[in-house]
Amino acid sequence: MKKIILLLTLAIFVNACKTKVETTLNPADYTVTSQEIEAMVTYLASDDLKGRDTGSEGIGEAANYVESKFKAFGIKPYYNTYRDNFKVGDLDAYNVVGYLEGNDATLKDEFIVIGAHYDHIGISKKIVENDSISNGANDNAAGTSGVLALAKYFGAKKTNKRSLLFVTFSAEEKGLLGSDHLAKRLKQEDFNMYTMINLEMIGVPFKDRDYIAFVTGFDKSNIAEKLNGYSGKKVIGASEVAKKYNLFRQSDNYAFYKAFNLPCHTISSCDLSNYDYYHHVGDEADKLDYNHMVELINSIIPGIEKMSNTPTKEITLNEN
């Protein structure tokens, strides 16, 4: 009998230790992988979602997918639900907004917004090789997967002293309507924003540049300098193509810049000079470089992590 009791006690102890080790190690060991990024993009850019046009059944399924990921990653709804509802004409539209509270009693009142649009243009009138679905893999299932990967990372690590708002925007393709709605709403609610980072078309690499990605509005703030310094390498650079076409005004960062007059930028690795399938039915998941994507995401993580922990707001607008 004593021997049986001893064995049972030992078994309970071993299982308890095993549970403790798994609970302790899993979050600390988490890193973003190319396999999970590819799985996210493949789902969001699948034919089943029919191009994720605003107001469509497909974008509703995409929203459900984002919500399920946020919930699994420990990212809470910012409002009563994850959805920030608005109208586009007669269409129902919604941004998906998740929230990770900071772990510092004072700094948690300041927010960093991390966003990407998850809508695309839906069914194309131009049929190419019997295909009419504009799947929007690079534009912008790629950026959406980046937001989800960052949500998973920070949800696991919980190293952020400042609070993080993870957002996927709808109706970007209708004229940046989702980000405009949310930025104005947050401004009216006296939202204490520090900065906003938007991810747009991060699915393909540059071949001839000394940086991984560029920020739009490079000269408007010191964000590139700070992100590179925080990360310990040149992750971010300037794109002359982006400057020429004023891409700073062409993505969801711009609504936040207008509303808050703070550093709000888009990070991208595609300035349309290195991808032939913009708003094209050929923008499919198999066209993207997932090793590049995971390198970029893992390279900006230290920057966002440091940004969320500095005692003072080090990222500022330039005077010019």
Q: Is the pLDDT of residue 217 over 50?
A: yes
pLDDT band for 27, please (50, 70, 90 cuts).
low
Cα gap 106→36, rounded to integer Å:
34
Cα gap 228→213, rounded to integer Å:
11
- The mean of the pLDDT values for the chain is 92
Q: Is the pLDDT of residue 297 over 60?
A: yes
Cα gap 184→171, rounded to integer Å:
15
Q: What is the pTM of this model?
A: 0.90
The closest alpha carbon to 138, from 318, 298, 299, 292, belongs to: 292
Please report where in the chains the tokens 């095993």 appear, as a residue. 18
Tokens of 68: 């399920």
How large a percentage of the chain has pLDDT more than 70? 91
The closest alpha carbon to 53, from 97, 84, 88, belongs to: 88
Identify the pLDDT of residue 179.
98
pLDDT band for 73, please (50, 70, 90 cuts).
very high
Tokens of 248: 């700073």
Average pLDDT over residues 7-31: 45
Q: What is the pLDDT of residues 153-170, one digit of tens each?
A: 999 999 999 999 999 999
Q: Is the pLDDT of residue 65 over 90?
A: yes
Burial class (CB in 10 A: 0-12, 13-18, 19+), 28: exposed
